[in-house]
Structure 1
Amino acid sequence: MSGQQPDRSGAPQVFQPLAEDDPTTIAGYRLAAKLGAGGMGKVYLSYTPGGRPVAIKVIRPEFGEDPEFRRRFAQEVQSAQRVQGLFTAPVIDADTAGPRPWLATAYVPGPSLADAVAAHGALPAETVLLLVAGMAEALHVIHGAGIVHRDLKPSNVLLAADGPRVIDFGIAHAADATSLTGSGVIIGTPSFMAPEQATGSRVTPATDIFALGQVAAYAATGTPAFGEGTSHGVLYRIVQEKPDLTRVPERLMELVTRALAKDPAERPSIAEIIALCQAANAETVLRRPEDWLPGAVAADITVRAAAPAPVQTPPPPAAAPSAPPSPAYSPTAPYSPTAPNHGPSRAPQPHPQYRTPPPAHAQAHAHAPTQFSGQAPPYPGAPVPSSAPRPSAGAGGRGVLIALAAALVFGVAGGGTAYLLLKDKEQPTRGGGSAQGDQKGDGGTQAGATPTPKATKSEPKPVVYKGVNLTAGYHLTLGDDEVRPQAGEDGWYELSYDTGGYLDAESQDGNLVLLDPGQEGSLAACRADTRFTKEVYVNKLSKGRQVCVTTGTGHMGLVTVRGFSTEDSPSTYLTLDLTVWRNAAGASS
């Protein structure tokens, strides 16, 4: 599935309008046009918030319903995100666990090799040498990430102004595992398969070298080296017969012949492929000029560069949050493997236990928030002042009775029970202090006065923090106004990334729940699910998986995994989106 060229039926336009059965958005990306369709699914044009065009590839439902495909697809996407080469289209975002798996790659404004040859015929030998050298560099990077392309063909090679781009690497491996392969569905294109693929033998990087030789022959002659026809006939010729190279230019003959060796061990390496291209070049040094493509093909690049403008009207919001979310990526935040943006290092200290809030009038003048204020302490584990302001006589008998009741309960049953008794007397707000209504409401009724009926509590509003890089050895405190990673992994923290390789809920009465793949995370889902654990190992997580967090301080959160640190990163971290519902634990109305 090339994903960036139209289906050549008649004379189609490059950017096809969306049909009735096409989605208008994919995970926050608004779709501007359809680029094409293939055996694996459909491809759409969209844009990042910064205006860069991207190609969104939505996998066919048949594949998405296969658990083994999803497992392998997640592995291949994670590997593909490590591929960063000059001649590849990088994978910048993906969702492997949603109802319809998809991935986003950089949009390349150029025709596929298949479209260029079909429209304008075979390419000159000089162009083919530059094409093969660029593809060889792409395979070097792809193989270096532990990926075998398995489906290298003309429609998966895009021709850009500055060289070719190899796309869709590794996706065929995921498709090989599906139950569809046992029902007549062929993964890969027969005309560009290697003998070991046709016979079901072991696939190696040398498999891609054979496909590279086939692509070179196709680009130079305009026809596949083993002809066309039924898949069985083509595969038989690939395994048993010699290729037809009569029209291949002499300068390319050694390159193509060696790459098409039946025995994988006899095929040249990537370095040898590039050396053969250099030796066949008249100037001995490969240089890629601006006009490396024939004029007619270069004109197609101009057409594809004039992509439709992004859709300006944003999708309707689901619900207005009580506080603006973090100004990070609006779609599903393609992550960048950079060092985490964490706050100052603080020595880990035990998290304070529940404690009695000061009376209403004292809260109005206090600057340091309490656990009941809806706001975090000045820093995790901050000590509580030993002397709190006492209520004056004018505060009324009700405040005195509450304080006495709290002290009695603390002495008998501990702070947790006191919290349960008192939390209905004071409704926290986003900025600290209690939501008391007017002066004669529930929080300020004078002694002997008739209290007003208690108002129905509303559900807490979600606060969203996107693109948080949580480094191993750091933790998050959900009650903080600005949730940021802070140093420390042990010390009664609400959510920490332990250097042992797991997420940890250490706070008093805190727990985690790992939601199932495809299970939609929400406040209701987190409240209902009781598969509690204290630890979730990161190696059990994949991009898109979600973890519910309940803290001992009464907050709830939903962690959505967005990515992982790369192997060459100086630190180990987890990129995540975090949704926080403060004071939501057990507070459903």
Structure 2
Amino acid sequence: MGAGMAAHGTGERLRDEDPREIAGYRLLARIGEGGMGTVYLSRTRGEQPVALKVIRREYGSDPGFRSRFEQEVRAARRVQGYHVVPVVDHDTTGEQPWLASMFVPGLSLHEALVAHGPLPLPAVLRLVGCTARALTAIHTAGVVHRDLKPGNILLSDQGPYVIDFGIARAADATQLTASAGLVGTPQFMSPEHALGDPVGPAADVFSLGLIAAVAATGRHPYGDGGALTLAAQIANTAVRPPRLDVYDDTLRPLLERCLSPDPAGRIGTEELATLCERSAGHSPNDFTGWLPRPLTQELAARRRAPLPPSPEPTVTGSGPQPPHGPTFAAAPTAAPTVAPSPPPYAPTVPAAPPRTRTGLVVGGAVLAVVLAVVLTWTVARSDSASDGAREQGDGKQSGQPAHPTASGPKASPGSTSDDSGYTVVFRDRPLTLRSPSGANIVRVDLDVPQVVQDSPGREIMLSEISGGRWEFYTPMGKSVGKTPQECLQGARADVLPKEIKANDLPATLPVGALMCTVTTEDRLAMLEVTGITTGHGNLPDYTTRLTLWQKR
């Protein structure tokens, strides 16, 4: 096994040797096991399902590993961006280190390829483009994935998500047991990784090129063979490059630029994303019907699969509590699931035609398996604040006290509440997001709410500069419903790009769209788009209704 671990279905019953609680998280089921430990299903105090990865004792007894693990996971928790789903909680001080992540409804690319065969070219292009943008966010935070593979890309009806990053390097210098095997996945390593040389962001680009080739054909570009044989061929790629003439004319140039033996010669993630989106002919936010029908049906079935109920008694305020665990909104009715751990591949099965079952020679589960996670923005931002205040422009920082509004005091919390852990501050308050006149900028503060040209607190910026754009200062997502549970889920799982150009706004955020974010004052805000009209500048004017919740 590699550095990751599988998480599958709703899991199996706990075994006699399994713990029943970790740091206040009550364990409900066993959902995976791998070289670094075991993954359990749990829930937060707000009844949001989480996956808790407990690290093996032989790692925990190594002080060097603990130090690296702490450093890497703290870095991973700072990652915020497009279609990345990082860690939300962790601890290195106990007998066994652990980390917690959130479920997303989906299945791994590895499992999809095994069950349904290669993807059609448009889906491959959208897969690669979206993953490249996710890598941009990961690399911007100073993290290198180091174990990107089909098992670490999660497919959902909202596009692909990159999972389980930020911990592989912690294990690299630790001597593993024979049962643990090698760290990483050799058949998806870059040449420099396979040779033991320093690894940087370009290594993830090489891995993504291999994934693109496999997703399109079911075959590894370096041919048939076991994992170590393929790794040896990758290490020798400068002398014997892969044959790429069998790939589609649209995909082949991208593979050539990803699979350069020289890291400096590889394409950058932003350029790769742009080229893929242009070739696919779709907006980076449009994933309507992006997967073949059988996969879409399987995703729908997984969303409907129930999770085990919380055991009794539940964790109370007088008992142990998760040290960093937030009180999330309750889990949605269509409970998320994670991809099952697949069996080893048969390495010599020939390639199958597109959209049919394939043997898939690359063996994503032979040496590494994964944990499916989703970003909890509130926790990630709080962790960043503890390391140092996060600044954007001249705006306020997380944790700054509430400020008064020019139009009167903030509304006091209402009496309306439910079992989500939130209570209403105000509901359906009209708020117009109007195009600023001239080459100006305005900022939107959803906590107040108000739109002003200069404000120390804000969540959205409206700019008429360089053609016009909206920019989100806090991660903004699209919700499928108006409950706080659905709103929080949308803010985490269906995250919009940080910036939307003026021409893309009506298609990305049409009338009826529900936008959700956790504000800079740690409240939950939902903007419902009620109208779009032509503005005075490049930006359209938006009329919205704003609902604001705060934690009880």
Same topology, TM > 0.5? yes
User: Percent identity of the aligned residues?
Assistant: 45
- Mean Cα deviation higher: 223-232 or 131-140: 223-232
Distance 2:275 2:401 in 1: 50
Indicate how the Cα distance of structure 1 residues 268 and 319 shifts in structure 2: closer, same or farther if over 3 A, else same: closer
What do residues 199-225 of structure 1 show as CA deviations (whole Å, max 9, x unaligned)?
A: 111111101100010111111111222
Paired residue for 1:269? 268
Say if 2:255 is the partner of 1:256: yes
Paired residue for 1:141? 137
Indicate how the Cα distance of structure 1 residues 110 and 2 shifts in structure 2: closer, same or farther if over 3 A, else same: farther
Indicate how the Cα distance of structure 1 residues 200 and 178 shifts in structure 2: closer, same or farther if over 3 A, else same: same
Which runs of no fewer than 5 residues in structure 1 stay unpaired? Answer: 7-12, 344-568, 571-589
Contact 1:123-1:219 at 8 Å conserved across structures: yes
Paired residue for 2:21? 25
Q: Secondary structure at the match of 1:123?
A: coil
What do residues 135-178 of structure 1 show as CA deviations (whole Å, max 9, x unaligned)?
A: 11111111011011111111111112101111121211000121
Amino acid at match of 2:268: S
Distance 1:102 1:131 in 2: 30
What do residues 359-385 of structure 1 show as CA deviations (whole Å, max 9, x unaligned)?
A: xxxxxxxxxxxxxxxxxxxxxxxxxxx
The normalised TM-score by structure 2 is: 0.55
Which runs of no fewer than 5 residues in structure 2 stay unpaired? Answer: 329-377, 386-397, 403-519, 522-552
Instruction: Kindly state the Cα deviation for residue 57 of structure 1 after the two structures are TM-superposed.
Output: 1.3
Indicate how the Cα distance of structure 1 residues 336 and 262 shifts in structure 2: closer, same or farther if over 3 A, else same: closer
Indicate how the Cα distance of structure 1 residues 193 and 28 shifts in structure 2: closer, same or farther if over 3 A, else same: same
Amino acid at match of 2:299: I
Contact 1:4-1:107 at 8 Å conserved across structures: no
Amino acid at match of 2:288: E
Indicate how the Cα distance of structure 1 residues 330 and 221 shifts in structure 2: closer, same or farther if over 3 A, else same: same
5 Å-filtered alignment, 1:250-329, equals 250-281=249-280, 283=281, 285-286=283-284, 288-305=286-303, 306-314=305-313, 329=326
Say if 2:239 is the partner of 1:243: no
Paired residue for 2:206? 210
Distance 1:230 1:210 in 2: 19
Contact 1:15-1:307 at 8 Å conserved across structures: no
What do residues 115-146 of structure 1 show as CA deviations (whole Å, max 9, x unaligned)?
A: 11011110111111111111111111110110
Q: RMSD in angstroms over aligned alpha carbons?
A: 3.4
5 Å-filtered alignment, 1:25-174, equals 25-174=21-170
Q: Secondary structure at the match of 1:250?
A: coil
Indicate how the Cα distance of structure 1 residues 279 and 317 shifts in structure 2: closer, same or farther if over 3 A, else same: closer
Q: How many residues align structurally?
A: 336
5 Å-filtered alignment, 1:523-562, equals none
5 Å-filtered alignment, 1:347-496, equals none
Distance 1:304 1:30 in 2: 23
What do residues 223-276 of structure 1 show as CA deviations (whole Å, max 9, x unaligned)?
A: 222245344422221022322435433221111121011111110011221122
Contact 1:142-1:149 at 8 Å conserved across structures: yes
Contact 2:52-2:101 at 8 Å conserved across structures: yes
Q: Secondary structure at the match of 1:16?
A: coil
Instruction: Kindly state the Cα deviation for residue 318 of structure 1 after the two structures are TM-superposed.
Output: 11
Displacement over 6 Å in runs of 4+: 181-184, 316-321
Distance 1:303 1:14 in 2: 13
Highest RCO, 1 vs 2 (Cα 8 Å, sep ≥ 6): 2
Distance 2:263 2:180 in 1: 27
What do residues 20-67 of structure 1 show as CA deviations (whole Å, max 9, x unaligned)?
A: 232222211222222222222222222222222222111122222211
What do residues 431-455 of structure 1 show as CA deviations (whole Å, max 9, x unaligned)?
A: xxxxxxxxxxxxxxxxxxxxxxxxx
Amino acid at match of 2:295: V
Indicate how the Cα distance of structure 1 residues 330 and 313 shifts in structure 2: closer, same or farther if over 3 A, else same: farther
Distance 1:325 1:33 in 2: 18
Distance 2:113 2:91 in 1: 34
Paired residue for 1:412? none
Amino acid at match of 1:300: E
Amino acid at match of 1:311: S
Contact 1:79-1:147 at 8 Å conserved across structures: yes
Instruction: Kindly state the Cα deviation for residue 185 of structure 1 after the two structures are TM-superposed.
Output: 3.5
Distance 1:325 1:276 in 2: 43
Distance 1:105 1:271 in 2: 27
Instruction: Kindly state the Cα deviation for residue 180 of structure 1 after the two structures are TM-superposed.
Output: 2.4
Distance 2:41 2:302 in 1: 11
Indicate how the Cα distance of structure 1 residues 4 and 89 shifts in structure 2: closer, same or farther if over 3 A, else same: farther
Amino acid at match of 2:143: I
Contact 2:29-2:42 at 8 Å conserved across structures: yes
Distance 1:292 1:311 in 2: 35
Indicate how the Cα distance of structure 1 residues 2 and 162 shifts in structure 2: closer, same or farther if over 3 A, else same: farther
Indicate how the Cα distance of structure 1 residues 325 and 252 shifts in structure 2: closer, same or farther if over 3 A, else same: closer
5 Å-filtered alignment, 1:336-351, equals 336-337=381-382, 339-340=398-399
Indicate how the Cα distance of structure 1 residues 18 and 226 shifts in structure 2: closer, same or farther if over 3 A, else same: farther
Contact 2:24-2:322 at 8 Å conserved across structures: no
Distance 2:95 2:195 in 1: 34
Paired residue for 1:350? none
Say if 2:184 is the partner of 1:188: yes
Contact 2:42-2:51 at 8 Å conserved across structures: yes
Contact 2:156-2:299 at 8 Å conserved across structures: yes
Contact 1:152-1:192 at 8 Å conserved across structures: yes
Instruction: Kindly state the Cα deviation for residue 87 of structure 1 after the two structures are TM-superposed.
Output: 0.8
Distance 1:138 1:91 in 2: 15
Contact 1:51-1:310 at 8 Å conserved across structures: no
Indicate how the Cα distance of structure 1 residues 266 and 52 shifts in structure 2: closer, same or farther if over 3 A, else same: same
Distance 2:117 2:206 in 1: 22
Q: Secondary structure at the match of 2:31?
A: strand
Distance 1:314 1:252 in 2: 55
Distance 1:24 1:295 in 2: 40
Distance 2:184 2:36 in 1: 10
Amino acid at match of 2:47: G
Paired residue for 1:540? none
Distance 2:38 2:226 in 1: 25
Contact 1:111-1:159 at 8 Å conserved across structures: yes
Distance 1:27 1:17 in 2: 20
